[in-house]
Each structure stands twice: as structure tokens, then as C-alpha cells.
Structure 1
Amino acid sequence: MIRLEHINLVVSDIEKVLSFYRAAFPHWRVRGKGTAKWYGKDRQWVHFGDDENYLTLNDDGEGHNRNLEGHQVGLAHFAFVINDLDAMNERLALAGFNIAKQGAQDPYRKNVYYLDPAGFEVEFVQYFSDLPHQRNLYA
């Protein structure tokens, strides 16, 4: 079995970023946190997730994320599969976060994109089929 366990993100403000992910995933928790040196620079880190998946957030990031409308090398977005996109959108709206863009119309899934407070584009997708040939339809 192969699965993605975590994503490690460098941000400028962990608490601000946590506000987004806490709204999106109310069942997740801070699994661990501490301090470390990263190439000579002190930083705080947090593991936020459940028993299977998590995000590592590291503070003291410098500069800005890449322009998502540009063509620079770097992370374009990452995605989470969820069971109830409408409920998640409501939680994020109540927390003050707006959808950045809608996904394409598709009979077997719906998806939306948000920008988290650190400027990472995050996709959330809900599938309406368990059949791989429908879920992975690229028309």
C-alpha cells in the first residue's frame, strides 16, 4: 500500500493557518508541536491532523507564495477528498473563508478551491461514484 501521510508547509503564522484547517477539519487535532532548528534558524512546528494524515506547519517563513496565476516552478495546489463538500463550505464561510474558484462541472464529483492564509491553494473534492473509471474521468 502507498498513501500520502503528510504535507510539510512553511508559513509565516501557524495560528492563522490553523484557523483555516480547524474550520475545514473539525475532527483533526494538534498531534504534536515543538521547536527545532532548520538550517541554523529556530522555528516552531505543529503536526495537525488525525491518526492517519496530517499537515506539518512550520513558522518563520519568509517572502510570499508563488503567483498561482503565473508559471513559476512550485506547488500549484494539494487536494483533500471529503464526504460532504457543502457542509465544509459552510464551516469555512462561518470562519470567514471564501471559495477562491469553483471546480469544473462533472456528474461524478464536485470540487472547490480555497486559498489558505499562507497562500497555498487547497482543493476539496467530493466524489459521487466509487467506480474509478467514473471518478477519474478526464473529459
Structure 2
Amino acid sequence: MYLEHVNLVVSDAKAMVKFYQTAFPHWSIRSEGDDDWNGKPRHWLHLGDDYQYLAISDHGEGENRDLDGHTTGLAHFAYAVNNLDAVIQRLENAGYTIAKPGTDNPFRKNIYFVDPAGFEVEFVEYLSDIPSERNNDL
């Protein structure tokens, strides 16, 4: 079992594509189209690779939840990557800033960015293949 996709409603799909293609240069738009969602027109797209993707729709209104608050909603989602330093370098070179540092752990490195729609995204590089070490919160 694996998570195939996450569906995000945003106000600026182009900004989202730029951010995620910066983080994952091999991602492309797999499909896209225009339709109506409960009386409002929207453009949707699937951005990813052959195995996982983000479904992004541009009919969002308002701001995302306050990540420092206690409002119910998505806190963050995470991607396991092979080279965290390379992801950070690509994102910083494109003008994105680290939202918060990761934790100090001998078995993983991680970092958080906030994407253009206000979703917090964690990128993690595991330094161990042993599940009990990878999941240890030292």
C-alpha cells in the first residue's frame, strides 16, 4: 500500500506547479482539464510522476489555516527524499525559504517549507533502513 495522491484546492495552480517542480524536477503535468465544481469553474491538474502525484485545483477561496494556530485541518505532509541537501538547494535557489528547521536525529534529516498555497511540506532523508531507528524521536 502507498499513498497515490493528495488533492489540494488552491487559488494559484501555476505557483504550486513551480514550487513542486523545483523540489522534484522529474515531475510533470500528467493530465489537466477544466470543469465545474459545485457551480464554480475550475482548472485542475495532476502533477507528479508515474506513481504518485498532487491533484491541484485552482478554485480555492480564502487563506489556508494558520499553521501556528489550533484550527482543525491539515498540519503538514511529508516526502521522503534521497538527497535532502539537493532539495533544499533547489528550493532556496528559486527563492523559497525554510519555514522551520528539522529535528536533530542521528537516523534522519528533515526540513519544512511552506508551499505557495500555505501548506506546510516536510522533506525527510532517512539515514537508516531500520524502521525502529527511522521512527525514533530521540
SS in 2 for 1:100: strand
SS in 2 for 1:19: helix
In 2, the alpha carbon distance for the partners of 1:119 and 1:99 equals 13
Count of aligned positions: 138
In 2, the alpha carbon distance for the partners of 1:129 and 1:47 equals 32
SS in 1 for 2:113: strand
- Preserved CA contact (<8 Å) 2:105 2:137: no
In the TM superposition, what whole-angstrom CA distance separates every residue of 1:84-109 from its partner, at most 9, and x where no partner exists? 00001010011110110011100000
Structure 2 residue runs without a partner (length 5+) = none
Calculate percent identity across the aligned residue pairs: 56
TM-score normalised according to structure 2 size: 0.98
In 2, the alpha carbon distance for the partners of 1:103 and 1:88 equals 14
CA RMSD of aligned residues (A): 0.7
Matched with 1:115 is 114
Aligned-pair distance for 1:60? Answer: 2.2
Q: Which amino acid aligns with 1:59?
A: D
Matched with 2:18 is 19
Structure 1 residue runs without a partner (length 5+) = none
Q: Give every structure 1 segment of 4 or more consecutive aligned residues whose post-TM-superposition deviation is greater than 4 Å.
A: none
TM-score normalised according to structure 1 size: 0.97
In 1, the alpha carbon distance for the partners of 2:42 and 2:104 equals 42
In 2, the alpha carbon distance for the partners of 1:27 and 1:130 equals 24
